[in-house]
A = this chain, B = another copy of it.
């Protein structure tokens, strides 16, 4: 436990600052060049997946289709089956697409915006469309809303998911609220796992908008690192609650095999899929079936995915250890930071003193360590308290990460001390 810096006298703070300035200068002198800004796997993590690059010996799918040729909008049967088994989703609900679940989400939002759903007014024709954005959250989700001029309403996160009291109140009152972004397992950036109660309440809540949609981005659905969180079946919960069309479910192998060269899926009710297929079949003749085949041939089946994810967890665990241990050693008890201890996923979320996040990111940047921009995890990039920073530990090597985390902690303390000195 460090000294509680927030309780120091001015003289103690100045002493502290002198020491931190020295340490910081030491890092600057090292000319570091490290990137912790995005959730990118490292080269050695990617190496674990290299068999996907092997020659594709057989290009005939299990139903006898030549995957080299046109067709197959819904994806090859073996891919649909694998993801069905892995995620517990009916095969019939799944369309396996191209390389990007973000692309599937963007296009899904675009279809709701342009065409509407279920005979309701297309969102583009409404005076206002709003989306609930549990925050901190995934910046690229928020950019999709921003691109279409959809107003974003931040909702605080709790350890069980979004603040459901607030969510229920908002969606019941305002029919302009058309949906919510969710990363239900190991959420980006906090690593929160939605509780069964959260899933049930999302599925069952009364929404003023009849065409309310949950964008269920299960990006880290199999990304257990320390222990496995179980996620309640959202489809089952929605069906039980009489809201079978409420969910659009997304998943991808971007963080299982290769980012940008994996396969993504959208899953939804028969009624929603019918609408999706109608427009998707105009947009494309089909997605890359050879890459679907490559991916499935490597992963083999649901158990094969879980086996592969254990390899990745072994690769990532030491990195999460470094992040969490360094935070603990350097910042615990200082009164300058609190952070999440995720059981899986790709990120650790750190809250520094109010008004200090931008300063911390700038300090780290000046010393050669690129962090995710402060505020990135909030709608419009505006962290109302300027305190949240996302740590993405996957890309650097362990050695780089150790150094970067030590620097990060120095930056947090330095920014905190500066802030305290200002206010004394």
Residues of chain A having any CB pair with chain B under 8 Å: 38, 40-41, 43, 46, 49, 53-57, 59, 66-72, 98-100, 102-103, 106-107, 110, 113-114, 124, 140, 143-144, 146-148, 254, 258-261, 279, 282-291
Partner of A66, one of B43, B49, B286: B43
Given A53-B55, A106-B282, A110-B110: A99 touches B259 (CB 8 Å cut-off):
no
Contact between chains at A102 and B260 (CB < 8 Å): no
Contact between chains at A284 and B69 (CB < 8 Å): no
Contact between chains at B38 and A260 (CB < 8 Å): no
User: How far is A150 from B54 in the complex, measured between Cα atoms in Å?
Assistant: 45
Contact between chains at A288 and B261 (CB < 8 Å): yes
Chain B residue at minimal CB-CB distance from A101: B284
User: How far is A153 from B287 in the complex, measured between Cα atoms in Å?
Assistant: 30
Contact between chains at A140 and B282 (CB < 8 Å): yes
Contact between chains at A102 and B147 (CB < 8 Å): no
Chain B residues whose CB sits within 8 angstroms of the CB of A59 once the complex forms: 53
Supplied contacts A43-B66, A43-B69, A69-B258, 16 more A-B pairs, CB within 8 Å = A38-B70, A40-B69, A41-B69, A46-B68, A46-B69, A53-B57, A72-B260, A98-B288, A99-B287, A100-B286, A143-B282, A144-B283, A147-B279, A260-B287, A260-B289, A291-B291
Chain B residues whose CB sits within 8 angstroms of the CB of A148 once the complex forms: 114
Contact between chains at A107 and B66 (CB < 8 Å): no
Chain B residues whose CB sits within 8 angstroms of the CB of A261 once the complex forms: 67-68, 288-291
Contact between chains at B102 and A259 (CB < 8 Å): no
Chain B residues whose CB sits within 8 angstroms of the CB of A55 once the complex forms: 53-55
Contact between chains at A260 and B70 (CB < 8 Å): yes
Chain B residues whose CB sits within 8 angstroms of the CB of A144 once the complex forms: 282-283
Given A53-B59, A54-B55, A114-B114: A285 touches B100 (CB 8 Å cut-off):
yes
User: How far is A289 from B100 in the complex, measured between Cα atoms in Å?
Assistant: 12
Chain B residues whose CB sits within 8 angstroms of the CB of A72 once the complex forms: 260
Chain B residues whose CB sits within 8 angstroms of the CB of A140 once the complex forms: 282, 285
| Central interface residue in A53, A98, A102, by most chain B CB within 10 Å | A53
Partner of A260, one of B69, B103, B107: B69
Q: How far is the CB of A2 from chain B (nearest CB, A)?
A: 35
Chain B residues whose CB sits within 8 angstroms of the CB of A279 once the complex forms: 147
Q: How far is the CB of A152 from chain B (nearest CB, A)?
A: 14
User: How far is A261 from B38 in the complex, measured between Cα atoms in Å?
Assistant: 28
| Central interface residue in A55, A140, A260, by most chain B CB within 10 Å | A260
Chain B residues whose CB sits within 8 angstroms of the CB of A106 once the complex forms: 282-284
- Ordered nearest first, which 4 A-B pairs have the shortest CB separation? A261-B290, A106-B283, A70-B259, A53-B56
Chain B residues whose CB sits within 8 angstroms of the CB of A259 once the complex forms: 68-70, 285
Chain B residues whose CB sits within 8 angstroms of the CB of A71 once the complex forms: 260
Partner of A100, one of B38, B40, B69, B284: B284
User: How far is A61 from B144 in the complex, measured between Cα atoms in Å?
Assistant: 29
Contact between chains at B289 and A70 (CB < 8 Å): no
Chain B residues whose CB sits within 8 angstroms of the CB of A98 once the complex forms: 98-99, 288
Chain B residue at minimal CB-CB distance from A146: B282
Report 13 cross-chain contacts, Cβ distance below 8 Å, ordered by A residue: A40-B69, A70-B254, A71-B260, A100-B284, A100-B285, A102-B284, A102-B285, A114-B148, A143-B282, A144-B283, A259-B285, A261-B289, A291-B291
Chain B residue at minimal CB-CB distance from A57: B53
Chain B residues whose CB sits within 8 angstroms of the CB of A254 once the complex forms: 70
Q: How far is the CB of A243 from chain B (nearest CB, A)?
A: 28
User: How far is A274 from B336 in the complex, measured between Cα atoms in Å?
Assistant: 42
Chain B residue at minimal CB-CB distance from A279: B147
User: How far is A103 from B100 in the complex, measured between Cα atoms in Å?
Assistant: 14
Chain B residues whose CB sits within 8 angstroms of the CB of A99 once the complex forms: 98, 287-288
Q: How far is the CB of A297 from chain B (nearest CB, A)?
A: 12
